[in-house]
Amino acid sequence: MWQDIIRKSPISRIAIDYIDELMADGEKRTLNEILDVMFTILESQRSYRTKSEEWHRKWDKYFIQGSSKLRIPTRGELKRYLEKNYSRGIFNNNTGEELPNKTQPTLRTESRKYWK
């Protein structure tokens, strides 16, 4: 039936490993911040050979001979994965304070952040 067509894991295993490694420091990040870092890693692939040895030790597992195994997830896929596996909260962007009684960011000065 149609259930057989649905993918069981919409995010690639490599992307999940990368997100987990990125979020391991416990810093609070928005969806956009996480996606920006993932795109930065893909863009840095263009200058792959000029990177430092330390950079290669940390990030080589995400690259195969000049092409990336990392598939950037959509915002929806990333949001579902983060909400299932990470803590989250609504924060005021100006003060950095958490707004404990809110379930959705309603103002432009509010954003949802995720952390381990």
Q: Is pLDDT larger for residue 111 or for residue 39?
A: 111
Q: Which two tokens stand for residue 14?
A: 């490599």
Measured at the alpha carbon of residue 14, what is the angle toward residues 31 and 9, in degrees to the nearest 5? 75
Provide the whole-model pTM.
0.71
Instruction: Enumerate the domain spans of the chain.
Output: 10-115
Measured at the alpha carbon of residue 87, what is the angle toward residues 33 and 95, in degrees to the nearest 5? 60
Residue 66 pLDDT greater than 70, yes or no: no
Average pLDDT over residues 31-50: 77
Residue 13 pLDDT greater than 90, yes or no: no
Nearest CA to 62 out of 31, 30, 21 is that of: 21
**How far, in Å, CA of 77 to CA of 94, rounded?**
28
Give residue 14's Cα distance to chain centre: 12
Residue 63 pLDDT greater than 60, yes or no: no
